[in-house]
A and B are shown apart, each in its own frame.
Chain A
Amino acid sequence: MRVGKSTFLHLCLAFSLSLILILILLTLVSAQEVDSLRSSTDSAYTIPDSGLVLVAPVTSLIAEDYKYDDGEQLKLSWVPSIDDQLVDSKVLGYRLFRSIDGGTPEILAKLPPGTNSFLDRTVQRERKYQYYLETFSENFVVQSIVTAAISPEREWLNLDRGWLFIIALFISIAIIFFVEKAKRGHKLYVRKIAGLEAIDEAVGRATEMGRPVLFIPGINDMDDVQTLAALTILGRVSRTIADYDSQIFMPVSRSLVMTAARETIKTSYMAAGRPDAYSDDMVNYVTDEQFGYVAAVDGLMVRERPATVFLLGAFFAESLILAETGNSVGAIQIAGTARPAQLPFFIAACDFTLIGEELFAASAYLSGEPRQLGSLKGQDVGKGLAMSVIILGVLAVTIATAWDVEIMHNVHNWLLGVFSSN
């Protein structure tokens, strides 16, 4: 059968029109389905005339081990309910439930709207924990999924502190290097520290005047490095006192400091070959109370009138009271502390002041012992490193911000990353 050209064209046109009609119909049907689906979804949130304020649960609730701890914490995170809004929020808050070893869940915390994480610090390594969250409105509560059972784990290394470790290792190696160098007889130079140069002179003055030396090691206990530094200097001072046959008295406010100070002075007297001249009465405990101690020391100062006063260690509000009283009795005063708030008072009222790290450098300076000198040199390497990093970092960030150089941005961010590793 032959089909004419026009008939073929008509057939094609009819087919195309039918196809378009079908497509339009399909589109309309699918749109209707979507609408009906939407309306059905919406109806899940609004029950007509029920009065309930329905809210959606939180999603993506995850419980995980808190990294780099002693196995005492679990971290929970979630995406808040979609009804938890800043303005006109339907959500009034969340209730966090916890079940231990599969037991009955109990409420752990009530959290305000907007919360999306929680740190559970009341867990034990040998137990398993599961969590879920309840989202609540004024009259409706909905529950999230329950997390998988998890136990906290203990990590032996805190890898967040990797750079801290590397830099500390670098400085430690520098210290060991300089200690070994000093042991081999290399002379290590340490600049003069005026306050320490004056120790012999101050003790000599007390000997000449026939008056005692008063040593105050601050008011903190042995867990303060400043007290440790003060006792190191005490070793040298008491050795000089033993050599000069002078007198020392040392009122303290902590029992442990009393014990340590007695040991230190006794060792110095033995090293000077005068163990018989040592007496436990040289160091006496007064009281732990800050101002009670100050009242007693002030009284001692005006009655005993020491020729030399050492104020070395951790001081607080009593610093100026002590330094002023020492000044009023005409004593030569050598002070030192690492507390910035108290240093101004010592500088104002004392003859010599060891500022901050000078107090810690004092032991190496005074003893001249290779181990301590090497340690001081190693610390200087650390300071050199800090200065270099400051120069590099400041240059990088200045160039980066002034001329928007990407490589300098990268250097700056890397340095910040390294030195925030703490």
Chain B
Amino acid sequence: MEHVALWVAAFLTLGIISFLYKDNPWYKLCEAIFVGISAGYWFIVLFWDNIVGKFWVGVFPPKELNDVGELVNSVEPDYWLIVGAVLGVLMLMRLIPNIGWISRWPLAFIIGCTSGLYLINYFSSNMMRQVQGTIMPLLGMNYELSTYDIIGNIIIVIGTFTGLIYFYFSKEHKGWFGRAAKVGIWTIMITFGASFGYTVMSRMSLLIGRVDFLFGDWLGLIN
């Protein structure tokens, strides 16, 4: 059985890689299998994790015997979950054309809550901590700051400041403001370049993994 699984995996891997040549029936077959199986898999996972694992078990917790032999709930039922379930059912209302507009309510609830929750998190991490982390000395006469530390600090302070100028939308990028914004976008692009190289290297490891599977596990050419 393991042998069959190995051959199926190799067949599908090569089918997906064949897309590099051009779109072909082999790729279409692999694509359909991948999409179909993963959609089915996620349906089952979400059903058992959310509807059963969270909602059903949360509202109707399993019973257990207490010290005097009575059947009691193992944990307190969480009736707040019913609110989520009702919103979920409302979402299905769009299947009935006459009352399809009701499905906008849960959607509005989700979008509103998400915006509110993330406002504080983003404000805290993207602004407060960023500002705090940028306040650093550019000279170090009385303290033992090395030249490298000072250069590093200058790059961080100028990079952050000019980066903020680039993302300032209320003023046209002209004159000294435009030049500062240009420094900002250069800083951003250099960062992207470093990030590009780093990510490409990690993608290479994924490719090596697949090649190792084909030539090692499947063909046995690599020990």
- A interface, CB within 8 angstroms of B: 164, 167-168, 188-191, 193, 222-225, 228, 256, 259-260, 263, 286-289, 291-293, 295-296, 298-299, 302-303, 317, 320, 340-341, 343-345, 347-348, 355-358, 361, 365, 376-377, 380, 382-384, 386-387, 389-391, 393-394, 396-398, 400-404, 412, 415-416, 419-422
Contacts and interface: CB of A to CB of B under 8 A. Distances in A.
Contact of A191 (B122, B135, B171): B171
Interface residues of chain B: helix, strand, loop or mixed (majority) = helix
A398 B137 contact: yes
B23 A223 contact: no
Contacts of B42: 287-289
Q: Using C-beta atoms within 8 Å of the partner chain, give the interface range for chain B.
A: 35 or more
Interface in B128-177: 128-132, 134-143, 145, 157, 160-161, 164-165, 167-173
Nearest to B199: A341
A291 B203 CA distance: 14
B186 interface: no
Contact of B138 (A317, A376, A382, A398): A398
B137 A401 contact: yes
Contact of A289 (B41, B114, B160): B41
Interface stretch (B1-9, B32-40, B59-67): B32-40
B38 A390 contact: no
B207 to A, nearest CB: 12
Shortest Cβ-Cβ A-B pairs, 10 listed? A289-B38, A393-B135, A292-B38, A344-B196, A422-B124, A288-B42, A344-B192, A287-B39, A419-B132, A402-B139
Contacts of A421: 128
A190 B169 contact: yes
Interface of B: 16, 19, 22-23, 27-28, 30-31, 34-35, 37-39, 41-42, 46, 91, 94, 103-104, 107, 110-111, 114-115, 118-120, 122-125, 127-132, 134-143, 145, 157, 160-161, 164-165, 167-173, 188-189, 191-193, 195-196, 199, 203
A337 B38 CA distance: 25
Nearest to B124: A422
Contacts of A401: 137, 139-143, 145
Nearest to A382: B127
B38 A377 contact: no
Contacts of B35: 286-287, 289, 292-293, 295-296
